[in-house]
Structure formats: C-alpha cells, structure tokens
Structure 1
Amino acid sequence: MSNSFIEQVHYIRIPVKNLERSAHWYRDVLGLQLVNLTEELAVIKVNEGPFLLILIPTEDVTFAHFTINQEQEFSIGFTSPELAKFHQHLLDHQVKVDDIKEDNGHAFFHFYDLDGNMLQAHW
C-alpha cells in the first residue's frame, strides 16, 4: 500500500486523577490552551497545530508512559526551542524534572505532570 488512510495524529489521551486540577496545570504551567472541560474529559490544544491532549479522569493506577526492563519510558515528547528556560520554568513551579541530557547534539529532559505521567521536552 503506497498511501496511508491516516492523515495525522489528532490526539493522545492522558489518565489523570483530578481532572480540573490537571487541566489547569497543563494550561497554567505548560502554557497550553484549555479548550473544553467537562466531567468526562478536558481538551488541551497544543499551540496552533491540530494536535490535542485529552485528559481522562480515572481512579485506576495507570500512566501515559510505559516501562522497558522495569525502567520508565515516555510516550509523549514536546519540542521546546528554549529548552533551558523551559527546564527552569518547570523547576520554578515545583515540577518534578530530571536533569537536561545531551546525546549527539540532541538535548532533552523528562518531567512529570501532577499524576506522575512521564513527559519529555527536547530540542
């Protein structure tokens, strides 16, 4: 098959414990746009593109990341052209943040939302 029926990724769903608190964290700390907040979900827009994060409330112990050999691996990566400033911004807001690492000219760090979902920022 030479052409895909899929045009783009539209959204990723992220499990959270307190929907309203998490929606405001993604808006206020990450600077993303809160488009809609209901009892069932929160819709977060990532800048001007078509990509959305959908926060889904759950009482289950579950995360938007996974493990390989018992080590956490992120599922969602964000680009940030001002990586060091973003890193400091997260630290200033008491976000759990790993150190900035560099691998062959590629800089990145991992950080965690209020529910422990592991995310990555890179440039």
Structure 2
Amino acid sequence: MSKSFIDQVHYIRIPVKDLEWSAQWYEDILGFQLLNITGERAVLKVNEGPFLVILIPSGDETFAHFTIDNRQEFIIGFTSPELFQFHQHLLDHQVKTDDIKEDHGHSFFHFYDPNGNKLQVHW
C-alpha cells in the first residue's frame, strides 16, 4: 500500500482520576483550551491545530504510558519550540519533571500530569 487511508491523528484519550481538576490542570498548566466537559469526558484543544486531548475519568489504576523492564515509557509526545521555558514553567508549578536531555540534535524531557501519566515534550 503506497498511501494510508488515515489522514491524521485526531485525538488521544488520557485516563484521569478527577475529571474537573484534571481538565483545569491541562488548561492552566499546559495551556490547552477546554472545549467542553461532561461527566463522561473533557475535550481540550491543543492550540489552533486539529489535535484534541480527551480526558476520561477512571477509578482504575491505569495510565497513558506503559512499562518495559518495569520502567515507565511514555506514549504521548508533544513538541515545544520554547522547551527550556516550558521546563521552567512546569518546575515553577511543582509538576514532577525530569531533567532536559539531549539526543542526536534534539532536546527533550518527561513530565507527569497530576494523575501520574508520563508525557514527553521535545524540540
């Protein structure tokens, strides 16, 4: 097959423990725009693009990451042209954040939302 039938990724779903609190965190700390919230989900938009983040409440002990050899590995990777400023912004807001690392010409770091979901941002 030379071309995929799929055009783009439209949204990702992230499990959260407290929907309203988590939606507020994604809005206040990450700057996402809250489009709507119901008891079943919160839909947030990332800037002006088509990409959406949908928060889904779950009482289960589940996360939007996986493990390899008992090490947490991220699933969701964001980009930020202001990586160093964003890193400091997260630290200023007491977000669990790893150090910035360099890998083959680009920088990245991992951070955790208040539900324990491991995320990555790079540039």
TM value normalised by structure 2: 0.98
Distance between the aligned counterparts of 1:40 and 1:103, measured in 2? Answer: 39
The alpha-carbon deviation at position 56 of structure 1 amounts to 0.1
AA paired with 1:98? D
Regions of 4+ moved over 3 Å: none
Q: Secondary structure at the match of 1:34?
A: strand
CA drift at 1:69: 1.2
- C-alpha distance in 1 between matches for 2:71 and 2:82: 27
- Where do 1:1-123 residues align within 5 Å? 1-123=1-123
Tell me how far apart the structure 2 counterparts of residues 115 and 77 of structure 1 sit (CA, whole Å): 17
Please tell me the residue identity of whatever aligns with 2:9: V
What are structure 1's unaligned runs of at least 5 residues? none
Look up the SS of the partner of 2:120 in the other structure: strand
Aligned AA for 2:68? Answer: I
- Which ranges of structure 2 fall in alignment gaps of 5 or more residues? none
The residue type paired with residue 114 of structure 2 is L
Query: Percent same amino acid among aligned pairs?
Result: 76
